[in-house]
Amino acid sequence: MSLQEVFYPRAVAVIGSVAEGKLGYVLVRRLLEGGFKHIYAVNLKAQGVDQVSGFRSVQEINAAVDLAVIVSPAATVKSVMEDCGRAGVKAAVVITSGFAEAGNATGEEELKQMAQHYGIRFVGPNCAGILNMHHNLVVTLEALPPKGSITLVSQSGAVGGLVMSAARERGLGFSKFISYGNGADISVIELLRYFQDDPETRVVALYIENMKDGRVFIKTLQELTQEKPVVVIKSGRTGTGQRAALSHTGSMAGSDAVYDAALRESGALRVESIEEMLDLCQGFACLPPPKGRRLLIVTNSGGPGVMAADKAEEVGLEVAEPGPGLKEKLGAFLPSHAGMRNPVDLTVEGTAESYRRILVEALQEYDAALALYVGTPYLEAMPYAASIVEAAKESRKPVAASLAVGSDIPQSLQLLQEHGMPNFTSGERAVRVLGRMADYEKYRAGLRPLPPVPAALGSLPGEGPLLEPEAMQWLKENGLAVPEFCFAASRGEAVDSCRRLGYPVVMKVVSPEIIHKSDHGGVVLDIDGDTVAGEAFDRIREAARDKDFRGVVIYPMLKGGREVLLGLSRDPQFGPVVVFGLGGIYTEVLQDIALRVAPVDYDRAMEMIHSLKAFPLLKGIRGQKPADLKALADTMARFSRLPFLYPEVQEVDLNPVFVFPEGLVIGDARVICRRRSD
Amino acid sequence: MSLQEVFYPRAVAVIGSVAEGKLGYVLVRRLLEGGFKHIYAVNLKAQGVDQVSGFRSVQEINAAVDLAVIVSPAATVKSVMEDCGRAGVKAAVVITSGFAEAGNATGEEELKQMAQHYGIRFVGPNCAGILNMHHNLVVTLEALPPKGSITLVSQSGAVGGLVMSAARERGLGFSKFISYGNGADISVIELLRYFQDDPETRVVALYIENMKDGRVFIKTLQELTQEKPVVVIKSGRTGTGQRAALSHTGSMAGSDAVYDAALRESGALRVESIEEMLDLCQGFACLPPPKGRRLLIVTNSGGPGVMAADKAEEVGLEVAEPGPGLKEKLGAFLPSHAGMRNPVDLTVEGTAESYRRILVEALQEYDAALALYVGTPYLEAMPYAASIVEAAKESRKPVAASLAVGSDIPQSLQLLQEHGMPNFTSGERAVRVLGRMADYEKYRAGLRPLPPVPAALGSLPGEGPLLEPEAMQWLKENGLAVPEFCFAASRGEAVDSCRRLGYPVVMKVVSPEIIHKSDHGGVVLDIDGDTVAGEAFDRIREAARDKDFRGVVIYPMLKGGREVLLGLSRDPQFGPVVVFGLGGIYTEVLQDIALRVAPVDYDRAMEMIHSLKAFPLLKGIRGQKPADLKALADTMARFSRLPFLYPEVQEVDLNPVFVFPEGLVIGDARVICRRRSD
């Protein structure tokens, strides 16, 4: 079944005490005030509220109750669910807490099984309820925003309350709200899928602290963002925040860098504050999408124009001067001091009509406009608001308004709102919204499906690290460029191998007990003849005398090229993750790293390469030849498939990889396996 | 004279038309509404407004007019000033525009001379007026905030209007406002000095786009920040913003990086938005200063607590768990699920009394607290507000409140306000304020006066670049570590010099026409004997055959050590600026640079060294010996004095400087001189 019965029930039963002041009482009252008609109260005393009748059990109700709202004590919820099941209830919202979040995982599991037995889908437990403004369904204590097209999905009830309370103040309309709490049955993923097809939802706002099934989440989110913008707060960004989240939800968040990469990949727009979330939702809900990044700013005051121009550059919008044709048109009616620059500064002499004409003319050339108006307390802003509305209607391009100070600001903002136009608190906030909207359009235009996850191909031996020759052999079999190499278990074999490979060579110890080979005298470089080769073998064997010495691996000496690092690891939420950097100080000291959820395809690998701050070093500076970026991206794509082809792979480090002007070769490899059951 | 007559005039004359709807009319009405008593109108028709009498000239007024407010047309302002002068007026606010900002620099200069002639100090021209809430003096059309302790100094009138309008909405009290416009007479610097001693000003808010006299500005600002916090918006941060600022003020801003360094040095707190400016002003105006960075968060809801904890880590506040003693105290009255972590999460069961007790107990251990409360629309927030007020009074430490959603939020916020406590829109914004307040306290505690600017010591020849041996000699004379070197004009001299210095050596061309020596075959490295030395000389002379060849400079070959770069340049606003970095890709590609206004002393130089992202490379990684940071800081301090000792110095680059585990030596030097008159 879909979640239709959750959001569009025919009748609702509120189960729990409805004594005045009790949660059940307040919920019944709110349902009534919201205008919902078919409400029943269920409690031990069969007590009703006003025109709402009371029953002892849901089964006694002589009507088709689709949705049960459960607020009775935790210990009773299971049997309440049974009553609901017998009465043919299809869905429930379990507001009651005291389950997994309080250490009672068993109670939650039993509740889930009971619901499953009767085919009941439920929200919660431990949630703040739901809201469907298009069905007059108010099943929450949180503040009510006006009816509109934004849907909020929140892991935290209180954050939901804050968002809707702020939305109410702004007059910003919502379609649905759902606080999914512990998400024992209906998960955030299922909700995102549902809202993808919900015609009453135009924008999705999402608050999460942590989650399961990271990969399904990304995929679902990407499908959703193809249809609708999604604005996300993922809190627990820092160690302090994660500790706080752990203590109140009982689940670990995983690395924020991985969340961030995953959200970016899925096209969701991450924000950090509720204000920014609402600004962005307001932009998406009200403004047409910008087709490009060229922004015109019109203002009647210099300072606020400068601040908006600063922000525009920061978010990557172009505040370029008007072209010659437009300049001529504007010159026909603008005073000369307005300068026909961008921002167009009309000064205090700017009339409402000049705002309108500039916007209409300029929007034939620009992709979006910001109309800034700062008045004084004794002047009317209304004519300006009316002009801006008119220009926006005529141009059908996004016009973000920021009107402030005037004798009639409330009425002026009301006028904007009536025409579905947002007014932003400042030009900077408006510009930030236009920038993110342009980002979203660009993402959507260039959308590429996630690379398919390859099926398992083979298996690797046991647990722990592979020996280096094994690792190199395995990489070679998987199409990665490893250097020629030989394994040698004795001095004689070693000298023969060196000669066969051709001097100079490098020799490294092979032992399952030695990981940091250089630190243990296990590496000899630049071996240039048989005698040195024999001595090198002896020295390495001597250094490893207390270890499980298996022999040495020998390579031709590699030189030149740019050194990079490729890494694979597993994130608890998102699984395999691939990391790329220039290694050494670039990675360790400057933390100049690109990270993505694996696998990545060629294009994504190329984006990772370009995203490094030190990218110019790969491209070549001061006349250096560029490193072979194509070979590198190709290698990254192959490399990132390994943990799927070989599910035992826990961690891989290729460090360094030598990238030459043509081709590349892996200089060292560390491969760690896990047990299959992990 | 001080600016006392500007802000505390006995009587005010408004000069300009007072016909209804005219600027003069509105100003007289606002003065009246503000409660100011001694007002006169001066205009051609001798027209009055209500009880305010009209006169044809100021000289006709039979009272001591201290302040003239001039709104008459630009062409009349000079003669109005003369009238004022003859009448004994002491100060004026010239609101009229049409002077330097509109290309009429002559008119502004004449106005200035007229005022000087009569000893009149004036604000403007082209300004939005002034405000003194403690003297009922309303000489502006901008919105009126309540009376309080914040003073706003703004280059932009409109930004002033926005700030005060937003302050009015928050109920945030202001002491004075001044829009200084073109600042022809009374400059921002003089204003900052005045407010340093103004007992009615507790916090200064400052909006600037550009300025003159950067050095006096820093010094003045530093003196002010020793007494009072200063919150600054400096717009024109980006190229786009600077272009916008140029077009409406007619003056160039200079590099934002230099402004940023100067503001930091002076202890001012830079913010980017009006919201953040007001948040911070509110914190400083209302809360006691935090003595450290340990923050306790108490909340009744998890999600908002997590978001606040994230922000706390970002701004460098410590959200550590309570110590064992405090845990025991809290355990005595807290429910077990509150967990006694930090944030302390009381959940929906948290009572107002538990907020109070936690805050009082915790603030004996912590430096500051955030009290987060998110209610529902049917619950009262007032008991919580009352508890928070009580706890703050008892603890005398900063308690930032963020209360939201409730049946009585307006009244609850009113209660906070009555007790001088701010309520922040979100926990994150509150935390950001506490973080900046702690920054300010730390700055003030560690305050060091600016290093003295040394007097000119000598002079350098002519314009343009010095020859390298001259540059090295000059650096040596100024106590900087240059290598041994010889100048040689002939092959024979060159070989002799090489031998004297001891092989290996490096030889470089000396020619005023060759700047990039390597690019012109003008550098030969690793010369290891007489023959090679002679050939090197010939080769260099041959490569420079079309140039003004003077000879070669010879150094011992320098090797090892960490390479860094030191630079000096001149900023149009702030004068000499010193730059430090690791050179090469660190500077060019990664832009890892430290910049300060020169001169810097040893401690400041050391801070610059530590501020680089790549600092660990200097400190030594992987067992490397650390570079001699003391020698480096000492060199930087000496180096940064050069442009003061030698006023002809325009630009100096020492690149590279080799820093060894002991000592350092300059590898190459480029010194460019300017004409003395510059």
Residue where a domain terminates, one of A286, A306, A333: A286
Answer whether residue B41 is part of any domain: yes
Per-residue confidence band for A210, with pLDDT thresholds at 50, 70 and 90: confident
Beta pairing partners, A506: A555
- Measured CA to CA, the distance from residue A510 to residue A532 in angstroms comes to 19
Query: Which range marks the domain in which residue A125 is found?
Result: 1-131
Answer whether residue A470 is part of any domain: no
Answer whether residue A511 is part of any domain: yes
**What value does the mean pLDDT take over residues A131-153?**
96
pLDDT of residue A252: 46
Residue B585 pLDDT > 90: no
Answer whether residue A163 is part of any domain: yes
What is the nearest CA distance from A361 to chain B, expressed in angstroms? 21
Per-residue confidence band for A60, with pLDDT thresholds at 50, 70 and 90: very high
DSSP A333: T
Closest residue in A to B165 (Cα–Cα): A405
Residue B677 pLDDT > 60: no
Q: Per the CB < 8 Å rule, is A590 touching B425?
A: no
Answer whether residue A571 is part of any domain: yes
pTM of the shown model: 0.93
Task: Decide if B139 contacts B94 (C-beta within 8 A).
Answer: no
List helix spans (H) across B21-148.
Answer: 23-34, 74-86, 105-117
Residues A515 and A641 placed together within one structural domain of the fold: no
What is the nearest CA distance from A324 to chain B, expressed in angstroms? 18
Q: Per the CB < 8 Å rule, is B374 touching A343?
A: no
User: Which chain A residues contact residue B243 at CB under 8 A?
Assistant: 309, 341
Residues A269 and A294 placed together within one structural domain of the fold: no
| Alpha-carbon distance values, B321 to B302, B318, B340, B366 (Å) | 16, 9, 8, 10
Residues A266 and A304 placed together within one structural domain of the fold: no
Chain center to CA of B404: 34
**What value does the mean pLDDT take over residues A302-324?**
95
Of A43-52, B437-446, B581-590, give the lowest mean pLDDT range. Answer: B581-590
Q: Calculate the dihedral angle through the C-alpha atoms of B151, B156, B162, B163, rounding to the nearest 10 degrees.
A: -20
Backbone angles phi, psi at B203, to 5 degrees: -135, 140
Residue of B26, B102, B297 with shortest CB distance to A337: B102
pLDDT of residue B42: 98
Percent of chain B at pLDDT > 70 equals 98
User: Which chain B residues contact residue A621 at CB under 8 A?
Assistant: 585, 588-589
Residue B248 pLDDT > 80: no
Residue where a domain terminates, one of A131, A160, A190: A131
**What value does the mean pLDDT take over residues A253-271?**
89
CATH code, domain with A588: 3.30.470.20
Q: How many CB atoms within 10 Å of residue A456?
A: 11
| Residue-wise pLDDT tens digits, A537-548 | 999 999 998 999
Token pair listed for A50: 């006003």
Write b or e for each residue in A141-160: b if 16 or more Cβ atoms lie within 10 A of its Cβ, otherwise e. bbbbbeebbbbbbbbbbbbb
Residues B336 and B347 placed together within one structural domain of the fold: yes
What is the nearest CA distance from B310 to chain A, expressed in angstroms? 4
Answer whether residue A454 is part of any domain: no
Q: Per the CB < 8 Å rule, is B306 touching A144?
A: no
Rounded to a whole number of angstroms, the distance between the first and last alpha carbons of chain A is 33
Contacts of B607 (CB under 8 A, 6+ apart): none
Answer whether residue B606 is part of any domain: yes
Per-residue confidence band for A260, with pLDDT thresholds at 50, 70 and 90: very high
Token pair listed for B285: 């105006």
| Residue-wise pLDDT tens digits, B281-338 | 999 999 999 999 999 999 999 899 999 999 999 999 999 999 999 999 988 888 776 6
- Measured CA to CA, the distance from residue A375 to residue A664 in angstroms comes to 63
Residues B296 and B210 placed together within one structural domain of the fold: no
CATH code, domain with B549: 3.30.1490.20
Residues A550 and A588 placed together within one structural domain of the fold: no
Closest CA to A635 of A597, A671, A599: A599
Contacts of B493 (CB under 8 A, 6+ apart): B551
User: Which chain A residues contact residue B244 at CB under 8 A?
Assistant: 302, 305-306, 309, 319, 341-343, 345
- Cβ contacts below 8 Å, chain A against chain B, sum to 228
Residues B126 and B9 placed together within one structural domain of the fold: yes
Which contacts (CB < 8 Å, 24+ apart) does range B210-214 have?
Answer: B210/B155, B210/B236, B210/B245, B210/B249, B210/B251, B210/B252, B210/B253, B210/B254, B210/B573, B211/B573, B212/B187, B212/B573, B213/B187, B213/B189, B213/B573, B214/B254, B214/B258, B214/B262, B214/B571, B214/B573, B214/B574, B214/B575, B214/B597
| Residue-wise pLDDT tens digits, A431-485 | 999 999 999 999 999 888 889 999 998 888 777 889 999 999 999 999 999 999 9
Residue where a domain terminates, one of B89, B105, B131: B131
Q: Which residue has the tokens 């993922």?
A: A234
- Measured CA to CA, the distance from residue B25 to residue A98 in angstroms comes to 67
Residues B76 and B195 placed together within one structural domain of the fold: no
**What value does the mean pLDDT take over residues A76-105?**
95
- Measured CA to CA, the distance from residue A353 to residue A335 in angstroms comes to 13
Sheet order of strands, A368-374 included: A344-345, A295-299, A368-374, A399-404
Residue B20 pLDDT > 50: yes
pLDDT of residue B678: 44
Q: What is the DSSP string of B274-339?
A: HHHHHHHHHHHHHSPPPSSSBEEEEES-HHHHHHHHHHHHHTT-B-PPPPHHHHHHHHTTS-GGGT
Residue A678 pLDDT > 50: no
Q: Per the CB < 8 Å rule, is A247 touching B617?
A: no
Residue of B207, B345, B617 with shortest CB distance to A585: B617
Residues A276 and A294 placed together within one structural domain of the fold: no
CATH code, domain with A249: 3.40.50.261
Rounded to a whole number of angstroms, the distance between the first and last alpha carbons of chain B is 33
For residue B125, the SS3 value is: coil
Q: Which residue has the tokens 């094994």?
A: A470
Answer whether residue A451 is part of any domain: no
Percent of chain B at pLDDT > 90 equals 82
What is the nearest CA distance from B509 to chain A, expressed in angstroms? 22
**What value does the mean pLDDT take over residues B557-576?**
90
Residues B300 and B432 placed together within one structural domain of the fold: yes
**What value does the mean pLDDT take over residues B532-556?**
93
User: Which chain A residues contact residue B378 at CB under 8 A?
Assistant: 26, 141
Per-residue confidence band for B253, with pLDDT thresholds at 50, 70 and 90: very low
Residues A200 and A306 placed together within one structural domain of the fold: no
Domain tally for chain B?
5
CATH code, domain with A107: 3.40.50.720
Task: Decide if A27 contacts A130 (C-beta within 8 A).
Answer: no
Task: Decide if B194 contacts B2 (C-beta within 8 A).
Answer: yes
Q: Per the CB < 8 Å rule, is B309 touching A405?
A: no
Closest CA to A376 of A402, A345, A348, A406: A406
DSSP A318: B
Residues B247 and B163 placed together within one structural domain of the fold: yes
Q: Pick left, alpha or beta for residue B50 (phi over 0 → left; psi -120 to 50 → alpha; otherwise beta).
A: left
